[in-house]
Amino acid sequence: MALTKISHDDNDKAVFGTSEDLKIFHDGSNSYIEEDGAGQIIIRGWGPRLQAGYSPTSSRNTGEDAVVCVTDGAVELYYNAVKKLETTSSGVLIPQNNLTIRSGSIAAAEIGLQDESSNATHFYISSKNNGTVEYNCYKGGVGTKYPHVFVGYTTEYGRLDNTGWKLGDSRAIRLGDSQDLDIYHTGSHGYLENDTGNLFLDVAAGNDIRLRANDENIIWGHGDGAVELYHNGTEMFYTSASGCHVGSPSAAAHLHFLDSGICRFGTGNDLQIYHDHSNTRNRIDNYGVNFHVVNKNTDGAVYEEMVIAKPNAAVELYYDNVMRIDTTSYGARCTGNLVSTGNIKAETDGGKLLVGAGEDLKIYHSSGINFIQGANSANIYACADDFAVLNQAATKTAIWCNSGGSTDLFYNNAKKFETNSSGAQVTGSLVADSVAVGDGEFLLCGNDDDLKIDHNDTNATIQNNKGVLYIHNNDTGTNKGVCILNDYFWVNNEANTENIITAQANGAVNLYNDGVKRLETWASGVKTFGTYFETNNVTTYSASFYQQNNQTYSYDIDVGSEGGAGNSFWLVCGYNHYYNTAYGAHRVGMFSARTTSVDTIFQDQQTSSNAGAWSVSKPDNSTFRVTKSAGSYGGWGHGFVQLTFRKL
């Protein structure tokens, strides 16, 4: 029979060994594995582990690791199933980055490093001295129990004690993976050296950074405020929200430059101010941009220009923000009045007084002749109550202009032409090769200017404002008549919104009704537009179509009211959606009609089930209806309806 279990009562022991050195038992509360002999308890296995928290009779039917031994690897210690310590090939690893050593009394806690060969302690951290933490590093093999750490072995380079870190001369505190930042003192001077990247001095918001020497400010940086520079403890420069200032808010100072020292402005040093010592002169150099001298308001906005100097161009002088003088490539120009207390002279022949932005007026003397010359198509006005042009001796008049009156032209001091309120009067004959009237000007005829002929730079107009406009040709020869020469001719309504007649060279003549074209000439004949065409009181209605065969279509034709007399109608209509008669419907006939009755005089028609048939009717007294019935075939076809009658 197979053995399933061995049962023991409380405190009954399973013992192993000749001397019963190994015992396993349970005392009613706890279970024990005891080694009473001189040997050891050895637990062997492929990665053995010790678990806690196992109870097969409760929900905790799996244990939590407490100790795990990894074959050819680590020994791991756990707390509440979380690994807290493990051995490695190089020592011990604490995964949680926290090591706490506790003893029954704080005065007994100690960590020490010893030499294996001599058991001599070289370093320890202890709290034995009445609860005060001691850091002890042995120097030269002699231990001292002071609260400090020595840096060095035979030579002390520095120490950490209760007063802080202490390093020897030229011994640096080096920070960064590559020791990029060094802080040290050489015995004469202190240094803060940064080899990589920027060096930042940062304080919490609202706090200041101050650099002082001998208890005097050198630089003072205010959090959320100004940066101040000092000289011998006195503020000489500071920043503000609006820029930089020399002096202090309560006292002025000066900005000094040595000879040829330059004050530069702009990213490209576009403006420079300095004293040129070698040439003994003060200079303001402007590079490539306009130079302005302005007067500003207290808010900094430009109030008015005073001087503008432009590179390779003008220098402008202003009065009350209005330019009055500017230089040009040929001299200078005055805008406004130029008042001189002496003469304005052009001392050489050909020297000119030029007036106008485009030098439109020139006054000068050249080759013994005085000139008043207009240029650029500009007019010359001579303004006076009366104006006269006389000979040099002032004995004969050539032109006389009367203020508010006539202008008179003379020949050898005799008046030949005189303007008046209605036009002009010629004394003697007026001989002209042509009469030229400018654009927008009129040639007027009639007492009330009823006939007007003009050209407005685009079109020419002959406008008659009274009666009929007649064009007569009284030539009795064989070529008499009126000829209008133009490649395009049209007649429109007075508002010029509708065509009446249009004609084009080498093209059509078109006739319109109410602005809609109704007739057009062709090279081979005449084409009419619309459904009705009438000649000698005979009206023809025509319509063509392209329609689906299997639908019914009707054409209602206005034939007028024949009253009780009746009327006659000639009808031709056809439709086909294929080339033979099996797919067509045609009808030709003469009909008489009165009110709503239609009688067939004679007819010829062709019908088919595929195409349907034509029929006629009169739904009312003035309508003649032509209808094509639906055929059985579903395709599309072409057709026409033409009805001739006398419209009443």
Structural domain for 411, as ranges: 384-428
Residue 420 located in a structural domain: yes
Same domain, 306 and 366: no
Q: Looking at residue 534, what is its pLDDT?
A: 84
In a domain, 374, yes or no: yes
Which helix (H) or strand (E) segment is 126 a member of?
Answer: strand 121-129
Evaluate the CA torsion angle 263, 269, 271, 272 in order and state its sign: positive
In a domain, 363, yes or no: yes
Question: Do the Cβ atoms of 635 and 549 come closer than 8 Å?
Answer: yes
Taking the C-alpha atoms of residue 512 and residue 502, their distance in angstroms, rounded to an integer, is: 9
540 and 640, same domain (yes or no):
yes
Q: Indicate whether 182 belongs to any domain.
A: no
Measured in whole angstroms, the distance separating CA 91 from the mean position of its chain's CA atoms is 66
Q: Give yes or no: residues 639 and 556 share one domain.
A: yes
Q: What CATH number is associated with residue 640?
A: 2.60.40
Query: What is the predicted pLDDT for the residue at 111?
Result: 64
Distances from the Cα of 179 to the Cα of 148, 176, 186, 191, angstroms:
24, 5, 18, 15
Task: Please tell me whether residues 388 and 374 are part of one structural domain.
Answer: no
In angstroms, rounded to a whole number, what is the distance separating the alpha carbons of residues 174 and 184?
A: 9
Q: What's the confidence (pLDDT) of residue 140?
A: 46
Whether this prediction's pTM lies above 0.85 is answered by no
Q: Quick check: 630 and 550 in contact, CB under 8 A?
A: yes
Kindly state whether residues 368 and 390 are assigned to the same domain: no
Check whether residue 79 and residue 110 sit in a common domain: no
CA 534 – CA 4 distance, rounded (Å): 130
The pLDDT of residue 135 is 52
618 and 544 both lie in a single domain: yes
In the sheet with 369-374, reading across from the earlier edge strand, the strands are 352-355, 361-366, 369-374
**Per-residue pLDDT, 112:** 62
Tell me: do 50 and 122 sit in the same domain: no
Whole-angstrom distance, CA of residue 177 vs CA of residue 196: 11
CB 462 within 8 A of CB 456: no
**235 domain residue, yes or no:** no
Residues 88 and 119 in one domain: no
In a domain, 407, yes or no: yes
Triad 56, 59, 63: Cα angle to 5°: 60
Confidence (pLDDT) at 147: 44
Among 134, 167, 200, the domain boundary falls at 167
| Number of domains composing the chain | 6
Shared domain check, 410 and 376: no
For residues 388 and 400, give the distance between their C-alpha atoms in angstroms, rounded to a whole number: 4
Q: Give the whole-angstrom CA distance, residue 229 versus residue 216.
A: 11
Q: Which residues does 24 contact at the CB level (< 8 Å), separation at least 6?
A: 13, 14, 15, 16, 31, 32, 33, 34
Contact between 418 and 408 (Cβ < 8 Å)? yes
Q: What is the pLDDT of residue 642?
A: 93
Question: Both 370 and 389 in a single domain?
Answer: no
Q: Is residue 254 part of a domain?
A: no
Q: Residue 52 to residues 42, 63, 212: CA-CA distances in angstroms?
A: 19, 5, 65
Q: Give backbone dihedrals phi and psi of 392, rounded to 5 degrees, phi first.
A: -60, -35
* Same domain, yes or no: 89 and 123: no
At position 419, the amino acid (one-letter code) is: T
Instruction: Tell me which of 135, 167, 199 is where a domain ends.
Output: 167
Residues of the chain with pLDDT under 70: 1-3, 55-61, 96-162
Q: Tens digits of per-residue pLDDT, 71-93?
A: 888 988 988 888 888 998 888 88
467 falls within a domain = no
Assigned token pair, 540: 């023809």
